[in-house]
């Protein structure tokens, strides 16, 4: 499969499609007598979040405004950015597409576009072709820089347009207008795709081969972000630490370059693969104050046999050795993981090995998943698929154990006063604020009136403050603001 860099030619086509669509939508708005809106529905991981910021940026450049209602809000352009990591992710799309059928029936000008990882699974595209004729456009998640051109063509053609290509593209972020969702946090993809082919995983099929952005371009983007007031940088990639830039630049070089910008209070990254995690990266995490002291490292299983079947190239001893190194070198750091339960052939003994490994690693948090067979992956064809009741029972035991350790991790914070980066009003909607520590612990806190801070003002977002932690919950801690930190 070829990897093609988006060219100046692509950029010209991109700009001209955006201009044409701007004119088209502007006359449609006159005809409708109101401004036109868009709704981008995002599923899946932060790479999809990042792509959606680009889709939103493109749609804004076409003169549309973001709809303000909930997820299923009606809009003039509805774009689905799908995820295919587990089966229930797929169900979301088809359920929600049905919701928009009536909308499209009443208004032929409404446009429905579907992209994202699900569209790299041929069965899903066939199903849209067959049963969802009112979808106007199916676009390739590896070629979102072609979105405006395809959207224009779909409108011109007035018939369903499906464009899924075999090539892996790379387009620098500077190619796109980007509407960043949070004014303090910037998602910065540094590499795309995955070469690891874990046997259960759809990502290498959906996202193609690994391709890294240019080091110089990334640093230029970081410098713009610093100048524009961003406080938190999230470096993204399916295997962020297998980044390979020009002149032998590595992920450690990117991490150092990002943390050199003192404007950034937090430099974070997702996701690391155990095989690519260098000592250098651990050293940087232990020594640079604005680099997050949090490592997310997927273990997947505690059994060497299962790891081998999963095509994860490490033993559990090696994994625990890396965890130990992190714990020693990054004082007070937090370690989180992903674990799959019920992989084909997993015996009770294998599962016990996973519980043992959790007891050793004492993860500060864990995302636990029930194995979901993905069409097209190797493991989907394995014999010995585990019956659902066994999976459910093991899953219950595992989450009980991982919850115990995450609550313990939260309890260790009680009584301490910690630096928190404020993310905004907490979801509870009761004027409680939320933010994160440098170890990525979620903190909900109140602001005492006597501090004279106007909590209604969103100027707090992205600021650093000190919070005294006084209560631990399973997934978060509660506290009280002590003081704001100076700029
Ligand atoms: N590249 C990242 C993982 C991205 S996917 C890494 O390797 O760390 C996020 C998580 O989803 C994986 O770590 C895995 O635990 C889970 N996952 C992936 N495919 C799955 C499947 N078919 N069934 C259940 N969980 C799955
Ligand atoms: Fe999937 Fe494995 Fe690649 Fe992670 S490393 S995205 S789990 S194939
Ligand atoms: Fe899902 Fe694709 Fe991300 S499958 S998890 S959206 S890379």
Q: Using one digit for the tens of pLDDT, what is the confidence trace for 42-65?
A: 999 999 999 999 999 999 999 999
User: Is 486's pLDDT higher than 80?
Assistant: no
Q: Please report the pLDDT score of residue 183 as a whole number.
A: 87
Cα(198) to ligand 2 centroid in Å equals 6
Pull the structure tokens for residue 219.
């640093």
Q: pLDDT confidence of 158, banded at 50, 70, 90?
A: confident
The model's confidence at residue 165, banded by pLDDT at 50, 70 and 90, is confident
What does pLDDT average to over the chain?
A: 94
Task: Determine whether the shortest distance from the Cβ of 201 to ligand 2 is under 6 A.
Answer: yes
Q: Give distance in angstroms: CA of 48 to centre of ligand 3.
A: 7
Compute the distance between CA of residue 396 and CA of residue 355 in angstroms, rounded to an integer: 12
Q: Please, are residues 37 and 66 in contact by the beta-carbon 8 Å criterion? A: yes
- Per-residue pLDDT, averaged over 216-228, amounts to 97
pLDDT digits (tens, 9 = 90+) for 176-186: 999 998 889 99
- pLDDT at residue 81 tops 60: yes
Backbone angles phi, psi at 194, to 5 degrees: -155, 135
Q: What's the pLDDT score for residue 95?
A: 87
* Mutation choice for ligand 1 from 340, 342, 386, CB with most ligand atoms inside 8 A: 340
Please give the DSSP secondary-structure letter assigned to residue 16: H
Q: What is the pLDDT of residue 98?
A: 87
Distance (Å) from CA 45 to ligand 3 centroid: 5
Strand extents, DSSP E, 264-321:
266-270, 294-296
> Rounded to an integer, what distance in angstroms lies between the CA atom of residue 310 and that of residue 198?
5
Structure tokens given for 20:
């044409």
Per-residue pLDDT, 16? 97
**Per-residue pLDDT tens over the stretch 350-374:** 999 999 999 999 999 999 999 999 9
* pLDDT at 240 (0 to 100): 96
Pairwise CA distance, residues 63 & 58, whole Å: 9
- For the segment 133-155, the average pLDDT, to the nearest whole number, is 95
pLDDT at residue 32 is higher than 70 = yes
Kindly indicate the confidence band of residue 485, based on its pLDDT and cuts at 50, 70 and 90. Answer: confident
List Cβ neighbours of 372 (8 Å cut-off, separation of 6 or more): 85, 86, 87, 88
* The predicted structure's pLDDT at residue 450: 82
Beta strand 365-370 with 417-425: parallel, antiparallel or unpaired? unpaired
Task: Give the per-residue pLDDT at 453.
Answer: 79
Q: Looking at residues 254-259, what average pLDDT do you find?
A: 98
pLDDT band of 451, cuts 50, 70, 90? confident
Q: Which residue has the higher pLDDT, 197 or 4?
A: 197
pLDDT of residue 452: 78
**Pairwise CA distance, residues 317 & 207, whole Å:** 30
- Is the CB of residue 297 below 6 angstroms from any atom belonging to ligand 2? no
- Cα 271 to averaged position of ligand 1 atoms, centre (Å): 10
pLDDT band for 455, please (50, 70, 90 cuts): low
Confidence at residue 260, expressed as pLDDT on a 0 to 100 scale: 98
Q: Among 409, 408, 469, which residue's Cα sits nearest to residue 435?
A: 469
Mean pLDDT of 153-178: 90
- Would you say the CB of residue 84 lies under 6 angstroms from ligand 3? yes
Residue 457: pLDDT band (50, 70, 90) is low
pLDDT of 448 strictly over 90: no
Per-residue pLDDT band for 487 (boundaries 50, 70, 90) equals low
Phi, psi of 370 (to 5 degrees): -85, 135
Q: Please check the confidence at residue 219 and state whether its pLDDT lies above 60.
A: yes
Which pLDDT tens digit goes with each residue over 109-143?
999 999 999 999 999 999 999 999 999 999 999 99
pTM for the full predicted model? 0.95
Asked if residue 298 has its Cβ within 6 Å of ligand 1, the reply is yes
pLDDT band at 315 (very low <50, low <70, confident <90, very high): very high
Regarding the beta carbon of 202 and ligand 3, being less than 6 Å apart is answered yes
Indicate the Cα dihedral angle 171, 177, 183, 187, nearest 10°.
-10
Sorting pLDDT into bands at 50, 70 and 90, what band is 456? low
The pLDDT value given to residue 2? 75
Mutation test residue for ligand 3: of 203, 239, 372, the one with most atoms within 8 Å of CB: 203
Is residue 206 within 6 Å of ligand 3 at its C-beta?
yes
Residue 429, pLDDT > 60, answer: no
């Amino acid at each position: 499969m070829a990897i093609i860099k988006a060219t100046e030619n692509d950029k010209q086509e991109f700009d001209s499609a955006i201009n044409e669509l701007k004119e088209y939508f502007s006359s449609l708005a006159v005809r409708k007598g109101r401004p036109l809106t868009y709704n981008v529905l995002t599923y899946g991981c932060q790479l999809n979040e990042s792509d959606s910021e680009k889709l939103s940026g493109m749609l804004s450049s076409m003169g549309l405004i973001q709809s303000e209602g909930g997820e299923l809000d009606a809009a003039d352009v509805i774009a689905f950015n799908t995820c295919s990591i587990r089966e229930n992710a797929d169900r979301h799309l088809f359920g929600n597409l049905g919701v928009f059928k009536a909308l499209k029936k009443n208004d032929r000008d409404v446009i429905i576009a579907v992209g994202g990882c699900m569209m790299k699974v041929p069965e899903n595209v066939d199903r849209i072709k067959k049963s969802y004729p009112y979808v106007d456009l199916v676009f390739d998640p590896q070629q979102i820089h072609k979105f405006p051109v395809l959207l224009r063509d779909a409108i011109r053609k007035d018939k369903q347009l499906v464009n899924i290509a075999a090539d892996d593209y790379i387009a620098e972020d500077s190619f796109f207008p980007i509407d960043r969702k949070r004014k303090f946090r910037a998602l910065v993809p540094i590499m795309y795709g995955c070469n690891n082919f874990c046997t259960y995983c759809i990502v290498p099929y959906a996202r193609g081969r690994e391709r890294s952005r240019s080091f110089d371009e990334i640093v230029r983007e970081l410098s713009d972000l610093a100048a524009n007031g961003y406080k938190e940088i999230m470096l993204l990639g399916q295997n962020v630490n297998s980044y390979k830039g020009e002149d032998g630049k590595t992920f450690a070089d990117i991490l150092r370059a990002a943390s050199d910008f003192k404007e950034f209070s937090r430099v974070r990254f997702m996701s690391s693969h155990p095989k690519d995690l260098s000592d250098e990266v651990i050293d940087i995490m232990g020594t640079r104050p604005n680099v997050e002291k949090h490592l997310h490292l997927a273990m997947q299983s505690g059994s060497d046999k299962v790891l081998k079947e999963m095509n994860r190239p490490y033993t559990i001893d090696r994994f625990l050795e890396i965890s130990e190194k992190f714990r020693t070198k990054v004082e007070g750091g937090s370690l989180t993981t992903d674990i799959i339960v019920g992989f084909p052939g997993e015996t009770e003994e294998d599962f016990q090995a996973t519980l043992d490994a959790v007891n050793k690693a004492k993860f500060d948090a864990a995302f636990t998943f029930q194995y979901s067979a993905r069409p097209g992956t190797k493991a989907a064809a394995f014999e010995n698929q585990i019956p659902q009741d066994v999976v459910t029972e093991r899953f219950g035991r595992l989450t009980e154990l991982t919850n115990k350790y995450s609550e313990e991790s939260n309890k260790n914070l009680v009584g301490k006063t910690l630096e928190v980066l404020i993310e905004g009003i907490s979801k509870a909607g009761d004027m409680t604020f939320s933010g994160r520590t440098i170890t990525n612990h979620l903190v909900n806190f109140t602001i005492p009136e006597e501090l004279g801070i106007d909590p209604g003002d969103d100027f707090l977002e992205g600021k650093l403050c000190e919070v005294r932690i006084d209560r631990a919950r399973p997934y978060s801690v509660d506290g009280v603001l002590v003081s704001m930190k100076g700029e």
